[in-house]
Structure 1
């Protein structure tokens, strides 16, 4: 143990006395902080006078939510059930002709029944619905989604829906004929008041489409609208409501689909229309967790760490030349003479460069995440709040990303020995996959590369969860990655372990 400590002390002395390595380490902090704090992305939050401040409603679990929909409701007290038949769904996107015969309904457009604690945005709720492309669903309290039958709705094939309340428990069911019912799911809404709002709803999220032109990528889209046609509406078995009231919850003139700071056309008009015994609800928006990204609202704290990419390049270079410089100058023989255990030397070098990069990344990421959010908000950009645990994981994850990437560079340097060759290989292995996934590759190809390459570890910086029931592009450019944070870290660690193992084998077999 003492021999390793002596070797570790010697390697640390080398590192801190070589000016180029120290300058490179300081530069890593500089570029990460500079990219995070420089004026860049702009938004409209708070930039258009009083009333232009941006905020999102908060759901029962403390998460930010989107809560905009058309609602035909009445106040109902006690246990009981509400039933309706969805006889049809049609949809349009902004700019489409409403009289167009074959509209495409957005896959996550929703029309169905809902029970809410109140009409206030962010209120606890349970709903059963027919969607544009995902069949019948039960959703409750924004983050929960339960699948029912996969069939959609047409005028020829309507769908019956039912919600039943018993205390704070709500059960959703569906039927093809109104007689034989199948349970979709059950939700317990803690604290549900005795009197709730119950009725029909319709809403349709923003459409987003990923675009790629040459080396550039982006997104286009806009608000969409759905019209759900309902009949056989009945509230019974203990419900005591009276008149039905139409409302458009959460809708206001301004940004599309209520998106804070979003630019683009206004959402299509919403409302309720009675046609004979049927009710038509036209709605736009969503009832779901709020997400960041091209198809969502604002950005996450990941946006503050855009400089990590450049910092990673510097970390890899420092890690690589920390070993190749000794081979180039012939000093490695002196090192091995002073510390005959070659594996001990390799382990000490990995510990030093990994430790230095971890501390460097920790300081840079902590400063950037804290102050970068202030810069973005000062520029009018909506930044989603993140739990303290998530912020800590993003900061520590960035430090770990730089540390292990530098160790991978060290392993490649010890394996290849030549500085230019080793640096080029390290950049190609670690940096190029990330660059390709961000700018050139699309869809499954980009996601595959971010699963198998060391760039998978950028998932450590993901600050916003993905929700299958929320329409969004979820692209790496928006801070979403195909692997869970620690799974991405495991991929990078595996690459580093293989590189170090190969270097250890070659160091024992080859002359210095």
Structure 2
């Protein structure tokens, strides 16, 4: 240990007395801070006077949510159930440059039954629904999703849905004939009031489509709409009257009245199979409800889900403050390589080996110094830019999703670890190759180029593969928003979503560095200086 500490002290003295190396560390940190604080992204939040502030509702778990849908409802006092038959689910997607909206249904379009603590956005809820391409689901309190039977729905193959409330527990069931029922699951909504709002709903998330123009991946899209056709509505339990109300929850101005312009929903009807009802044509119906006999047609747009950044979401995360990491990475990779190749170029390596004959110990000491210095510099730079960069983004009118303290700490420490381990990998490559230009070029190609290719050139599947197996996998440490399988979005690297979990990404980079260090140690033992 004493010999290692002496070698470590010697390498640290060598590093701090070389002004170019010290300057390189400062430049790397400066790039991270400078690029992160430069005015870049812009938005309209708070830029158009009072009322233009961007505020998302908050769900029962404290998370930001999207809560927008067409709702036909009435109060349910105490326990009770609601049953309905869904005979159709169709949709409209944003139009292309050559025309208006086109037929199509997004995979997570939703039509079904819902029980809510209130009509205010963000209220606790449980819903059973038919989706565009994911079958029947039970979803509750925005983040919970339970799968039912797969399939689609049509007049020839309708699907029956039922929600039953018993105290704080809401149970979802489904049926293909209204006779034989299958339980999808149950949700316990703590603190559910004695009187809730319950009924039918329809919504359809933002449509987003990845576009590859040959120079990288982009996205296009816009709001989508879904229309559900219901009949055979049946109620049991503590329903208060037969007056149904139509609200477009989350619409401008908030819920209230009948924003969709729809008529009242039908009252209770007996259960049992029957032919589909007739719905009057309403081609101009954007959102809302209309009635034809005992059949109700609802059209809605939006989602009931956690709010996420990305092509189908809103805003950005703290990761956007770290745009300078890539530039800083290039500098520390060059530094890591020349920290050893400079001694070969100047012929000083023989002196170094004479002073520290145990070559593996010397290599470990060099790795400790270059990794430690870059980690500290990266930690300070990332902490500064994540802290101050949030104010810059908000000042530019950009909506910034709040991050927990744990997420901020992980992103800051992870960025520092990414830089440090990359510098150690570059050091190992420099030890293997010994020539400065060759080592620097190889280090840049191995460490830096995969990230650049994955983010700007390669199609998404190839880019994600690269970000699983290359050192660039460690950029997953900067992901600050979870990817929800039940939330429609483009979860691609270009939008800040990586194919590996954060620490798994660091493990890939660490694996590369460990293999390179072991190879460098083996060669150091065998060859001459």
TM-score band, normalised by shorter chain: over 0.9
Q: State how far apart, in whole Å, the 2-side matches of 1:96 and 1:105 are.
A: 15
The SS at the match of 2:103 is coil
Q: Is the 8 A contact 1:108 1:134 kept in 2?
A: yes
1:328 to 345, 348, 357: 345
Could you tell me which residue of structure 1 aligns to residue 291 of structure 2? Answer: 274
User: What's the offset of the Cα at 1:101?
Assistant: 12
2:382 aligned with 1:368: no
The answer on whether the counterparts of 2:73 and 2:246 sit within 8 Å (CA) in structure 1 is yes
In the TM superposition, what whole-angstrom CA distance separates every residue of 1:307-342 from its partner, at most 9, and x where no partner exists? 101101111111111011111111111111111110
Counterpart for residue 409 of structure 1:
426
User: Is 1:48 the counterpart of 2:33 in the alignment?
Assistant: no
Distance 1:356 1:385 in 2: 30
Distance 2:80 2:95 in 1: 42
Query: Is the CA contact (8 Å cut-off) linking 1:268 and 1:284 kept in structure 2?
Result: no
* Worse-superposed segment, 314-323 or 209-218: 209-218
Closer/same/farther in 2, CA of residues 333 and 129 from structure 1, 3 Å limit? same
Partner of 1:134: 134
Give, in angstroms, the shift of residue 453 of structure 1. 0.4
Hey, what's the Cα distance between the residues in 2 that align with 1:102 and 1:497?
A: 53
Residue 352 of structure 1, aligned match among 366, 369, 373: 369
SS in 1 for 2:91: strand
SS in 1 for 2:243: coil
Partner SS state of residue 160, structure 1: strand
Q: Does the 8 Å contact 2:363/2:521 carry over to 1? A: yes
Distance 2:518 2:108 in 1: 48
Using the TM superposition, give the Cα deviation of residue 215 of structure 1 relative to its aligned residue in structure 2, in angstroms.
Answer: 1.6
Match of 2:235 in 1: 235
The match for 1:113 is 113
Shift of 1:377: 0.7
Q: TM-score, normalised by structure 1?
A: 0.95
TM norm structure 2: 0.92
Deviation track 1:217-268 (CA, whole Å, cap 9, x = no partner) reads 32110000011111111220344454111000001289xxxxxxxxxxxx98
More off after superposition, 85-94 vs 390-399: 85-94
Matched, 1:476 2:493: yes
Q: Residues of 2 paired with 1:177 and 1:225: CA distance?
A: 27
Determine if the alignment matches structure 1 residue 248 to structure 2 residue 248.
yes
Output one character per residue of 1:128-172: Cα deviation in whole Å (capped at 9) or x when no partner.
Answer: 000111111111110111111111111211100011111111111
Give the conservation status (yes or no) of the 8 Å contact 1:32–1:310: yes
Which structure 1 residue ranges, 4+ long, deviate > 4 Å from structure 2?
99-102
Q: Secondary structure at the match of 1:41?
A: coil
Number of equivalenced pairs? 499
**What is the correspondence of 1:79-98 to structure 2 with a 5 Å cutoff?**
79-95=79-95
Residue 233 of structure 1 aligns to a residue whose secondary structure is strand
* Separation in structure 1 between the aligned mates of residue 82 and residue 492 of structure 2, nearest angstrom: 40
Question: Aligned residue for 2:473?
Answer: 456
Provide, for residues 467-489 of structure 1, a one-character-per-residue CA deviation record: whole Å limited to 9, x for no partner: 01111111212211000001101
Distance 1:268 1:57, change over 3 A: farther
Task: Please list every run of 5 or more consecutive structure 1 residues that lacks an aligned counterpart in the other structure.
Answer: 255-266
Q: Of the candidates 308, 316, 335, which is equivalent to residue 325 of structure 2?
A: 308
Question: Which residue, out of 499, 505, 509, partners 2:522?
Answer: 505
> How far off its partner does 1:296 sit?
1.1
The residue number in structure 2 matching 1:489 is 506
Q: Which residue in 2 is equivalent to 1:261?
A: none
Aligned partner of residue 12 in structure 1, secondary structure: helix
State the 1:78 CA deviation. Answer: 1.0
In structure 1, C-alpha distance between the alignment counterparts of 2:219 and 2:105, rounded to whole Å: 19
SS at match of 1:274: strand
Match status 1:143 vs 2:143: yes
Unaligned runs of at least 5 residues, structure 2: 255-283
Aligned partner of 1:435 in structure 2 is 452
Contact kept, 8 Å, 2:93 with 2:102, in 1: the verdict is no
Alpha-carbon distance in 1 for matches of 2:53, 2:36: 23
Cα pair distance change 1:374/1:26, threshold 3 Å? same
Q: What's the Cα RMSD here?
A: 1.8
